[in-house]
Amino acid sequence: MKTKLCALFLCPNFNHLVSRNMSQDIHIKKGLDIKLVGAASREIAPATSPKNYRIQLEDFHGLTPKMLKKTGETVQSGEPLFCDKDRPEVVVVAPVSGLVQEIHRGERRRILSVDLLADSEQKHVKHSVVDLNTAQPEQIKALLLASGCWPLIKQRPYDVIAGVQSMPKGIFIAGLDTAPLAAELDFVLQDQVAEIQAAITALSKLTPSVHVSLPAQGSAVFSGLKDCQLHKVSGVHPAGLVGTLINRVDPINKGEVVWTIQAVDLAIIGKVMTQGIYDATRTVAFVGAGFEKNQYIALKQGASMFEALKQFGLKSGSRVINGNVLTGKKSCKEGYLGYYNTAVTAIPEGDDYEFFGWNKPITEKVSITRALTFSWLFPNKKYNLNTNTNGEHRAFVVTGHYEQVFPLDIYPMQLLKACMIKDLDEMEALGLYEVAPEDFALTEFVCISKQPHQQIIREGLDLLQKEIG
């Protein structure tokens, strides 16, 4: 009786009282679409063939590399470059065949990146494929590990490369990307439906259920998929984040593990399953106001972006971001494509002062308030945002703003504070197992106190994994 009363009086929303699996359709109201100028047109630019490749270790959070190739050795495309020291079966493979040119090391000889020089003629490692209809889970796992596909599978809790022994209660895949200027998945994956289906069929052997989200209006790529549960998703960002899908479909409880895989990586996995070849090629969107031209181009993981950036007319004074503006990593005009990226964004740097920027009316920036900010008047306007923080770091003051852009059944500010004070019990109780840093990108965007939310969550996850995981 007491708990029922509590439930009645203390429920902030009543969604959870309805069974989550009742409806397959998900609509996200709490969130924010940040509309920026510079979306990629549906055109694929002629491919450049970069010679230089770099695998950056910052892309593999939590992985301690042990080199399997030395400087000066040759590799084939798909041949292991390094493995995880703690789990040698997890390998990262070369995206091209060529020469291991240099291994960059930082403090205490920590490996930062591995440079490759591509051969003009490409040789692929070919694995023997399995019959997906009769394959055993162990066979599929072995192929994923050997082919170098394993790092494409991430797990929650902790948002790290999946544990080899972990038994996921579900595998979740976002079939739509609602991030600002995201690549259109239906466009970049249009010719790879067969590979994606093969990947899903293979993955469905490893878990009780594979969940795929897709746009409510349907999708040429995802609508017809078999061996998985499809969830139609509509609404504002973060509708397309896999964390939102998990929270709505089957939230993670203590002791449970789910896997997440990017839709574009299904194409890589699918090709391994059907042809035995690891093909690192992606159709990458070059977006944002920092380019003269916004188009797609085919690039392999780790490829030098130098020529592509030149081809798309990178403007001076722009920041190049590996990924989208909310979660991407800072790069530069000599940068290399990140391991997981489907988009490269360039936006103007904002390293300039603004006279009385805090009190004059603002029409050229995005805000969820109406404090002399007028973006609410123009819901369809596209903005040219720069990297200025628009204010300084402060203590948490305002409340209620994060909740407007955070659709998960979690208290965002309370969880952030639990992470900041390193209170493991609270972190666990408030739902840290369910989230990844990217789930806090929007709260970070709207934060008046300019707190580094994603970093706080990342550090919290690392601490929790070290102490409990």
Partner 1 sequence: MSLKDKLHETKLKFQGKKMAPAFNAIHTFLYTPNETTHSGSHVRGADDLKRTMNTVIISLIPVMLFSFFNAGYQHFSAINGFPAEFNMWEHFFTFDNLWVGLTTILPLLIVSYGVGLGIEFLFAVLKGHEVEEGYLVTGILVPLIVPVDTPLWMLAIAVAFGVVIGKEVFGGTGMNILNPALTIRAFLFFAYPTWMSGDKVWVHQAVERAGTADAISGETVLGYLAQNKAGEYTYSVSDMFFGFIPGSVGETSTFLILLGGLFLIYSKIASWRIMVSAVIGALVMGLIFNAVVNAGWITETSKFYDLMNFPFWQHLIVGGLAFGIVFMATDPVTGAQTELGKWYYGFFIGFISVLIRVFNPAYPEGVFLAILLMNVFAPTIDHYVVRANVARRKKRATSLPNIQTAH
Give the end-to-end CA distance of the chain in Å, rounded to a whole number.
Answer: 36
Nearer to partner 1, 119 or 459 (CB): 459
Contact letters for partner 1, residues 308-327 (x by CB under 8 A): -----------x-x---xxx
Residue with token string 């852009």: 405
CA-based nearest residue to 80, from 149, 128, 139, 155: 149
Choose the binding region for partner 1 from 21-29, 115-123, 218-226, 403-411 (rule: CB under 8 A): 403-411
Q: Per CB under 8 A, does 100 bind partner 1?
A: no
Nearer to partner 1, 78 or 251 (CB): 251
Least Cβ distance, residue 286 to partner 1 (angstroms): 16
Least Cβ distance, residue 424 to partner 1 (angstroms): 14
CA-based nearest residue to 438, from 458, 416, 462: 458
Residues 57-86 that bind partner 1 (CB under 8 A): none
CA-based nearest residue to 155, from 174, 168, 141: 168
Tokens (6 digits) for 327 = 């979660």
Least Cβ distance, residue 459 to partner 1 (angstroms): 11
Nearer to partner 1, 222 or 402 (CB): 402
Least Cβ distance, residue 126 to partner 1 (angstroms): 32
Q: Taking the CB of residue 389, how many other CB atoms lie within 10 A of it?
A: 9
Q: Is residue 171 a contact partner of residue 211, using CB atoms and an 8 Å limit?
A: yes
Contact letters for partner 1, residues 20-59 (x by CB under 8 A): --------------x-x-----------------------
Q: Is residue 465 a contact partner of residue 427, using CB atoms and an 8 Å limit?
A: no
Residue with token string 């194409």: 267
Tokens (6 digits) for 215 = 């746009």
Residues 332-371 that bind partner 1 (CB under 8 A): 345, 347, 349-359, 362, 365-371
Q: Per CB under 8 A, does 373 bind partner 1?
A: yes
Least Cβ distance, residue 222 to partner 1 (angstroms): 26
Amino acid of residue 124 = H
Helix (H) or strand (E) holding 459: helix 453-467
CA 289 – CA 308 distance, rounded (Å): 15
The size of the interface with partner 1 (CB under 8 A), counted in residues, is 94
**DSSP β-bridge partners for residue 343:** 285
Q: At what angle do helices 412-420 and 453-467 cross, to 10 degrees?
A: 60
Q: Per CB under 8 A, does 420 bind partner 1?
A: no
Of the candidate residues 431, 436, 460, 461, the single one contacting partner 1 (CB under 8 A): 431
Q: Per CB under 8 A, does 128 bind partner 1?
A: no
Strand order in the sheet with 170-174: 26-28, 229-235, 210-215, 170-174, 258-261, 153-156, 160-161
Q: Per CB under 8 A, does 328 bind partner 1?
A: yes
Kind of pairing between the strands at 91-93 and 65-67: unpaired
Least Cβ distance, residue 455 to partner 1 (angstroms): 5
Of the candidate residues 107, 108, 389, 421, the single one contacting partner 1 (CB under 8 A): 389
Amino acid of residue 134 = T
Sign of CA dihedral 234, 239, 245, 251: negative
Nearer to partner 1, 214 or 289 (CB): 289
Q: Per CB under 8 A, does 378 bind partner 1?
A: no
Collect all residues with Cβ–Cβ distance below 8 Å to 110 and sequence separation of at least 6: none
Angstrom CA distances, 47 to 30, 264, 346, stand at 39, 18, 19
Residues 215-234 that bind partner 1 (CB under 8 A): none
Least Cβ distance, residue 353 to partner 1 (angstroms): 4
Of the candidate residues 1, 22, 377, 397, the single one contacting partner 1 (CB under 8 A): 397
Least Cβ distance, residue 397 to partner 1 (angstroms): 5
Nearer to partner 1, 240 or 270 (CB): 240
Residues 157-216 that bind partner 1 (CB under 8 A): 163, 165-167, 169, 180, 208
Q: Per CB under 8 A, does 391 bind partner 1?
A: yes
Q: Per CB under 8 A, does 444 bind partner 1?
A: yes
